[in-house]
């Protein structure tokens, strides 16, 4: 679906909805370019766009497949950029990724959104209102879109950090419900974190090349802006790498916690076993049916034995208490 198709001349959007062919024509005038926004285009729609702009066969294959890593390719002087947008879903604690592709030529930008990639209407509005920026042409649009995508990583990181904190609390909670084990949550969060890293880190290299300004169509005024986005991405990637390392530690610490608790439980159990076991042994002995057992016939034998039993049980209790088994 063609979502929007606008021609910008000297940074100003021309009025009216232009059909694709006219837009392309208009974009060839000096200081003009066209930005075509597609959302999950049908093969026919895409073929139309491809022919008009002469997009490279390989880039088009990728654009349709939409299972790319973030990357930047140069085909005959035009750029093809793949971005991954991320959205954090707090309920499922999952990060949803979608794909956004940009074809950037001298006088055109074609953006292709897949899945739930966030709509670019806001980006368009923002850049349309910033004349000094949009005058730089298609590369300014590229910057605005990447900036938008990278800014959207921040809430994802906040969501992951929040989960991290909850997991920390769960791992070191004094009491935890039966059968509850944070290791599943740790594992699944780690999976998301590794996934996030994998979908964002490869963008660092393209951003570095854009900031260095050595690509076709580079605009010197934009270099700082690309470097700024690169810096934001570096921060996001560094935060995620930090989370990744901490989660491994959390898994190990959780195991240590469980093992320590198990040891404590075993000691408690054993202590009570000992306390209850002593009377049982004595009872078993004096429960034997020998005809000749002198103690049994004494007047106060039972009371003596009972007192001794209770005394020893109490001593055991005190002792276990002291060494920390109870």
Q: Which of residues 282-321 bind its own copies (CB under 8 A)?
A: 282-293, 295-302, 305-306, 309
Residues 113-152 that bind its own copies (CB under 8 A): none
Residues 5-64 that bind its own copies (CB under 8 A): 56, 58, 61-62
Between residues 67 and 125, which has the closer beta carbon with respect to its own copies? 67
Q: What is the DSSP string of 101-118?
A: EEEE-SSEEEEEE-TTPP
Between residues 121 and 269, which has the closer beta carbon with respect to its own copies? 269
Cα–chain center distance at 116: 17
Q: Work out whether 186 is an interface residue with its own copies (CB under 8 A).
A: yes
**Distance in Å, CB of 157 to its own copies, minimum:** 11
Site string for its own copies, 63-92 (x = CB under 8 A): ----xxx-x-x-x-----------------
Work out whether the CA dihedral 45, 49, 51, 52 comes out positive or negative: positive
**Distance in Å, CB of 50 to its own copies, minimum:** 15
**Distance in Å, CB of 100 to its own copies, minimum:** 17
Query: Residue 82: which of 60, 63, 56 has the closest Cα?
Result: 63
**Distance in Å, CB of 117 to its own copies, minimum:** 19
Region from 9-17, 103-111, 119-127, 276-284 binding its own copies, contact rule CB under 8 A:
276-284
Which of 13, 28, 261, 318 touches its own copies by CB under 8 A? Answer: 261
**Distance in Å, CB of 3 to its own copies, minimum:** 27
Q: Work out whether 270 is an interface residue with its own copies (CB under 8 A).
A: yes
Which of 121, 269, 308, 315 touches its own copies by CB under 8 A? Answer: 269
Gap between the Cα atoms of 69 and 196, Å rounded: 11
**Distance in Å, CB of 116 to its own copies, minimum:** 21
Q: Work out whether 170 is an interface residue with its own copies (CB under 8 A).
A: no
Q: How many CB atoms lie within 10 A of CB 47?
A: 13
Contact 216, 78 (CB under 8 A): yes
Between residues 20 and 309, which has the closer beta carbon with respect to its own copies? 309
Two tokens at 92?
A: 């499922």
**Distance in Å, CB of 2 to its own copies, minimum:** 26
Q: What are phi and psi of 214, to 5 degrees?
A: -100, 5
Cα–chain center distance at 51: 38
Q: How many CA atoms lie within 13 A of 8 on its CB side?
A: 28
Cβ-count burial 89-112 (b if 16+ within 10 Å, e if not): eeeebbbebbbbbbbbbebbbbbb
Q: How far is CA 233 from CA 165, 204, 246, in A?
A: 22, 7, 20
Beta strand spans in 140-202 (E): none
Q: Work out whether 98 is an interface residue with its own copies (CB under 8 A).
A: no
Gap between the Cα atoms of 149 and 229, Å rounded: 10
Between residues 92 and 238, which has the closer beta carbon with respect to its own copies? 238
Between residues 18 and 251, which has the closer beta carbon with respect to its own copies? 251
Element (H, E) at 89: strand 78-89
Q: Work out whether 234 is an interface residue with its own copies (CB under 8 A).
A: yes
**Distance in Å, CB of 324 to its own copies, minimum:** 4
Q: Work out whether 214 is an interface residue with its own copies (CB under 8 A).
A: no
């Amino acid at each position: 679906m063609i979502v929007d198709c606008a021609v910008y001349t000297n940074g100003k959007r021309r009025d009216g909805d232009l059909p694709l062919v006219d837009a392309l024509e208009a974009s060839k005038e000096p200081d003009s370019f066209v930005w075509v926004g597609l959302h999950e285009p049908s093969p026919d729609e895409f073929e139309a766009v491809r022919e008009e702009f002469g997009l490279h066969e390989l880039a088009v294959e990728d654009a349709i497949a939409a299972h790319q890593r973030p990357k930047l390719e140069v085909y005959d002087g035009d750029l093809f950029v793949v971005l991954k947008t991320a959205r954090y879903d707090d309920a499922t604690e999952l990060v949803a990724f979608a794909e956004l592709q940009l074809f950037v030529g001298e006088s055109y930008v074609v953006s292709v959104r897949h899945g739930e990639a966030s709509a670019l209407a806001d980006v368009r509005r923002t850049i349309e209102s910033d004349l000094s920026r949009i005058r730089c042409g298609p590369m300014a649009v590229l910057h605005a879109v990447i900036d938008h995508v990278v800014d959207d990583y921040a809430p994802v990181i906040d969501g992951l950090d929040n989960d991290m904190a909850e997991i920390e609390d769960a791992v070191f909670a004094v009491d935890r419900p039966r059968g509850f084990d944070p290791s599943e949550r740790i594992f699944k969060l780690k999976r998301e974190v590794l996934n996030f890293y994998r979908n964002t880190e490869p963008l660092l290299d393209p951003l570095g090349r854009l900031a260095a300004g050595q690509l076709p169509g580079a605009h010197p005024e934009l270099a700082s802006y690309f470097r700024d986005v690169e810096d934001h991405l570096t921060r996001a990637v560094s935060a995620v790498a930090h989370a990744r390392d901490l989660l491994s530690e959390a898994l190990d610490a959780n195991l240590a916690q469980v093992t320590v608790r198990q040891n404590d439980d075993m000691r408690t159990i054993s202590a009570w076993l000992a306390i209850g076991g002593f009377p049982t042994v004595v009872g078993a002995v004096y429960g034997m049916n020998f005809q000749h057992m002198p103690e049994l016939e004494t007047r106060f034998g039972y009371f003596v034995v009972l007192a001794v039993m209770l005394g020893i049980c109490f001593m055991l209790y005190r002792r276990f208490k002291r060494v920390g088994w109870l």
